[in-house]
Amino acid sequence: MIIRPTPYDHPDAVKLEDAVQLEYAVRYGDEGDATPLDAGMFLPPLGLYLLVYDAEDRPVATGGWRTQDENDEGYANGDAELKRMYVIPEARGLGLARRVLAALEDDARAAGRTRMVLETGVMQPEAIALYESSGYEPCTKFGHYRLYENSRCFAKSLTRP
């Protein structure tokens, strides 16, 4: 597996974005995640978007982070927000999400971000388990879905002791 920085609007990224949106719709019974995102949000040094490719050069996993600072949606100065973590079903269980997560944390730390934050939902227990086992703790809700009952927000310090 190869992890490559890739623009959020690259055709392979769009393909996986469509797949994750379909999965959200199935899990939550709606039209997917309506959080406003655009490719510019993931451009270094303000963010990063990664794709994982398998041995046949097929995109199998994705994830990104974008800069957030204090605003009316509950973010704090120094936040890096994790977005679009996704692994296609046939590539799950290989540790790809954990590898992408670690790479994103390292990049956000190097960019000067002090906390990684994320929002997920109760219908994604696998995601919650990954984040909790990676040192993320529940935090005050933030972002587009902060007022939704089934939303869960987590944070992890990026500063090293």
Q: How far apart are alpha carbons 63 and 51 in whole angstroms?
A: 7
Predicted confidence pLDDT, tens digits, the chain (161 residues)? 899 999 999 999 999 999 999 998 999 887 677 788 999 999 999 999 999 999 999 999 999 999 999 998 889 999 999 999 999 999 999 999 999 999 999 999 999 999 999 999 999 999 999 999 999 999 999 988 888 888 999 999 999 75
Domain limits for position 52:
2-157
Output the domain CATH number for residue 121.
3.40.630.30
Q: How far apart are alpha carbons 161 and 157 in whole angstroms?
A: 10
Residues 6+ apart with CB under 8 A from 68: 75, 76, 79, 80, 81, 117
